[in-house]
Structure 1
């Protein structure tokens, strides 16, 4: 998914200090497009925290009645220095990219696209979609791999039962299941659906920091209550996480994790770099060059890049 904000914030992101307990990150609403736009709820990045492991961007959207909003129609746009992770709860999205990939994002199926040195793609909800609902996530690539070859992977995880929860692991390892999809840094990504009133304790890597995004809830994470669309952050050092569904209906969450990302990154629009110069170069080449290839099959023009800020880059989002 593109960050289609007209004036996207330019961020320098750094690993933060450990915060005791569970830190609750509230989302902010971001409209994707014009007056009938679908609105997403963004929990990463924000001023209080910009990274959870290498996870650097999290949009949560829906349930969205596409007859009212028009659904998702994101024209071809570029990415560098990151991976996009698409995960749906309902609906269907058609994906086309400059590698020639033509694929569909469907509920319970992982689509992972590596931008690396440069890729472009489009995303359009299909005519089979009545309600669109899911998450779009980005992963920052470490310096040694940030200019890697672009790539696309598709994986359908097998859900497993763990206590009172159904767990679908799309990246990393959890509940005895390991995803076969390789990552450039240690990562965890899983959908967890808790039965009404259920409590489940999950064994996790103590070297990881974790974020629990609540889709349906409320859900209590390690004693802290999280409401729908909130993300609970747990610092490294925990070898278990306990989740409790506080409702009398099923609760759905997405658990993200990874080792703290020990590099500063600059994020702007759809690019991840290491400096303002990296971002400016990527923008210029998207507007004038062929670095990002072409997306065939999309009916419309590609998405122009916003104007770069005129002010010098300033560090933001550091946690002390």
Structure 2
């Protein structure tokens, strides 16, 4: 997915993980989302919780958009023309609907609910995303993973995986990256990561073992969920610092609740994000934008996209240089 803000801010991201005093009772910081128009005349809107002032990364997770349930007949759905990415991986995860993906690696795929689609930008890739004609409701999440400096110029790649549901007694978990509750995704990553969807039955309460090296984020999709005793509403992102060995999740409603659990060790590197690029300096961002605007082979070509415009031009660069956003 593209960051289609007309004037995206250039952000220098530093990870500063918060530690917890009691590993069995981690503290939870609540991060609320801001609405961002995805684009088009009717502008399907997404809710963005990363990056944000005060918290830029959770592990290597550096970008999180949460959208829907979206009535495609009313908003027009998703139609994002070919656009570039560098220095990152995109993670597509749907709850409802279907998206047609095309990229410059030559991949033509359908993104479906409960199926991980992981695209590696590395040195450079471009892709398009369009909700299919059969889709009436679109609902899901789009996430980016920052690549470490040693691998951020890796070759383009694409992986798909359909995780089997694991019954935890009161909850069902689908692990799409990393390991949780005795299940491990076969999809490799460049830094240790956790990505999982959990659905809790009404009034269910489950305790999950955590890797104490990881910081974690809990994005509530539907329902109201207490995370380590802190209540989160739908669209909230709860942050847990490193040091926690377990966390209790409780559905306090009479309807099922659904959430995404994300995690990873503190990234340990400062990154610069602007538009669809993850880099290390302002000068590098300027060079990437120029390369995309002049049609550099660095990003390749997407074949088969029939929308307008034929490709997504980059926004105008900000007049000022980067101002670091500090994470407490």
- With normalisation by structure 1, the TM-score equals 0.98
The one of 178, 182, 187 equivalent to 2:184 is 178
Name the structure 2 match of 1:252: 258
Offset at residue 19 of structure 1 (A): 5.7
In structure 2, distance between residues paired with 1:282 and 1:150: 16
- With normalisation by structure 2, the TM-score equals 0.96
After superposition, the C-alpha distances for 1:137-178 in whole angstroms (9 at most, x for unaligned) are 000000000000010001010011012100000000001000
Name the structure 2 match of 1:295: 302
Regions of 4+ moved over 4 Å: none
Higher deviation after alignment, 11-20 or 170-179: 11-20
Matched, 1:188 2:194: yes
Query: What secondary structure does 2:199 align onto?
Result: strand
In structure 1, distance between residues paired with 2:44 and 2:184: 34
Name the structure 1 match of 2:321: 312
Offset at residue 18 of structure 1 (A): 1.0
Gaps spanning 5+ residues in structure 1: where? none
Gaps spanning 5+ residues in structure 2: where? 21-26
Name the structure 2 match of 1:285: 291
Higher deviation after alignment, 18-27 or 98-107: 18-27
Name the structure 1 match of 2:246: 240
Name the structure 1 match of 2:11: 11
Name the structure 1 match of 2:57: 51
| 2:17–2:242 contact (8 Å) kept in structure 1 | no
The one of 226, 229, 234 equivalent to 2:235 is 229
Query: What is the aligned-residue RMSD (CA, Å)?
Result: 0.8
In structure 1, distance between residues paired with 2:150 and 2:284: 15
Name the structure 2 match of 1:209: 215
